[in-house]
Amino acid sequence: MKHTLGFYLRLYGMILAQDLKSKMSYRADFIISTVGMIATNVAGFVSFWILFRNFPSIGGWGYYEILFLYGFSLVSLTPVQCLFDNNWSLRQYVYSGDFIKYCFRPVNLFFYYQSEVFDIKGLGQLAFGIAMIVYAWGKLGLAVTVLAVVKLLVFLLTASLVMIALQNAAAATCFWIQNSFYVLDFVTRFKDYARYPVTIFSPVFRFVFTFLMPIAFIAYYPSLVILRPDEVPLLSWLSPVIGVVFFFLSYRFWMYGAMKYSGTGS
């Protein structure tokens, strides 16, 4: 049975409402976890600030440019934090055999599983990232136009698809690999490099971060459209297409593993 986009949006709204009610019933846990997320981002920013106290620029990139890149990466990583956090529990459901319960609903299996959890802590990260983008935007003297804002939103959205795709693919390895946590953890750790220009790395790592582990498309390439509009490389313009293609491929890989699942655990 196929359903329309409107059906899934309405269904997600109902699921989200119930999930938030459940989380808010444990207010202490919600407050502590939210403060912890904010503290993590603040600690990351302090490290960033200390670095620039000693080096006024890195690889030809100034403080406010990299601050913009940092904020861009935080915002683009928010969807994977908020909407796809259930990927971290996938291996547990698969190994215990409980994943089978998701296979008998008349809705898309991927949607049903991912929509079950919304990590509200990611909203703190989103606010922090937006504040950094706005502050850096002003300091860099970038023009505020409708076109610039539309570009920013489009490239932020499509950039987020890259990290979502990486996490989907890494999480789905649990359908074949018993110790898949290490695959997911390994891939996730690379996101910290997304906040820096890929040009500061050696040619080998530039290749890896562009074509093998494409974290350069989480912030660097898409942000160039806003930061340096007069010298935008082809890969920057292609980043929305790359994000969509990567997400689709990861979705197909995730679904392929789910369809092969026998329900016996491992």
Model confidence pLDDT, tens digit, residues 96-107: 989 998 988 888
Query: What is the predicted pLDDT for the residue at 187?
Result: 93
Q: CB–CB of 67/136 below 8 Å? A: yes
Of 29-38, 128-137, 254-263, which gets the smallest average pLDDT?
A: 29-38
**Is 70:135 a contact under the CB 8 Å cutoff?**
no
Measured distance CA(193)–CA(182) in Å, rounded = 18
Tokens of residue 124, six digits: 């703190």
Task: Specify the residue for token string 């861009």.
Answer: 72
Mean pLDDT for 220-248 is: 94
Query: Six-digit token pair at 43?
Result: 């600690």
Instruction: Please tell me the total count of domains within the chain.
Output: 1
- Percentage of the chain exceeding pLDDT 90: 59
On whether residue 265 sits in a domain, the answer given is no
For residue 228, tell me if it sits in a domain. Answer: yes
Rounded Cα–Cα distance for residues 137 and 169 (Å): 34
Nearest residue to 75 via CA among 145, 152, 146: 152
pLDDT for the residue 266: 43
Range of the domain at 35: 5-260
- The alpha carbon torsion through 179, 183, 188, 192 (nearest 10 deg) reads 120
Report yes or no on 33 lying in a domain. Answer: yes
- Taking the mean position of all CA atoms in its chain, how far away is CA 55? 28
Q: Which residues contact 224 (CB under 8 A, 6 or more apart)?
A: 231, 232, 233, 236
In a domain, residue 232? The reply is yes
The pTM for the full model equals 0.88
